[in-house]
Structure 1
């Protein structure tokens, strides 16, 4: 199944879910309270024990400090390498999260992967792509305890904004801002 990229569709997801997310932000600090349109990402890493909960986009503009924080959080934990994560990947994850209507943060299994890490993982599994978008900061593998892989997959697919992979046996969904495609569904 393929579908057409629609920036308007992705923006519509944010607009449609802003009302559902509003109560979560009721106790936000002053600059965000009443700021209008915003995007928030909440994740934790079981590998590093770190977590992130940040508003990274406010009223049409990305928040540079928040993006830098996301870059560090999503680094290759095996090598410590940090690169710029494509904000579109975060947008897809955040929009999907809003659609799932949960306060539970994502568990991030994989964000950026260095070529060295990708090669090592590829040698262990045929499911790892040679030219993985993880190596360019354009992909994330995510899990939620409170939602099924099927629910997460459908939410990400509805964004119509990149690649979505369903890994039921491993209990995660791959989301990326590359070409529109899907697998495992």
Structure 2
């Protein structure tokens, strides 16, 4: 081999090593926080409620810090609208919702169908439907039922499930997706 071809092989080897290193160093997105980690220093959630007429569009995380006032607003927005009872929403659920929203690359806000539910509300809904869990994570403020007009139930569920960070339920007949920060699992069609 000539001196020039040896240099070319060395450059190729070097570039290959850099490419392999970049692939190995790329983050694995096994949790919703992984999806958000490289999304910049700002996390934003956008939702509206057809039941209350309220809209929410706010930044809740800046440079590694949750914003207390924003978290209060999110919890108030996701309250049990039947009783107006508020419970602090689990931030992991908000992060999963945000990560899934970012993965779908859309600007449309989520329609929130259900966030926190009091035990009384959950029991009432359970008496009307077989699809309501007796020990629902909604009662712990760890779940949300969401809808988008620009994405199908399957698209939303795939985005949420790819976070590998909680439960994802498909409710195609009712056109919504359940997202929670409980055990990683999926159900529904």
Common fold by TM > 0.5:
yes
1:57 equivalenced with 2:79 (yes/no) = no
Q: Which ranges of structure 2 fall in alignment gaps of 5 or more residues?
A: 1-27
Structure holding more helix per residue = 2
* Contact preservation (8 Å) 1:45, 1:108: yes
Q: Tell me the TM-score normalised to structure 1 length.
A: 0.84
1:14 equivalenced with 2:18 (yes/no) = no
1:162 equivalenced with 2:166 (yes/no) = yes
Higher relative contact order (CA 8 A, sep 6+): 1
Can you list the C-alpha shifts for 1:4-42, whole angstroms capped at 9, x where unaligned? xx88542331245x3xxxxxxxxxxxxxxxxx5111100
* Contact preservation (8 Å) 1:7, 1:161: no
For the aligned residue pairs, the C-alpha RMSD in angstroms reads: 1.4
1:75 is paired with a residue of what secondary structure? coil
1:146 equivalenced with 2:176 (yes/no) = no
Q: How many residue pairs get matched?
A: 162
Q: Structure 1 segments of 4 or more deviating over 4 A? A: none
2:45 is paired with a residue of what secondary structure? strand
Shift of 1:180: 0.9
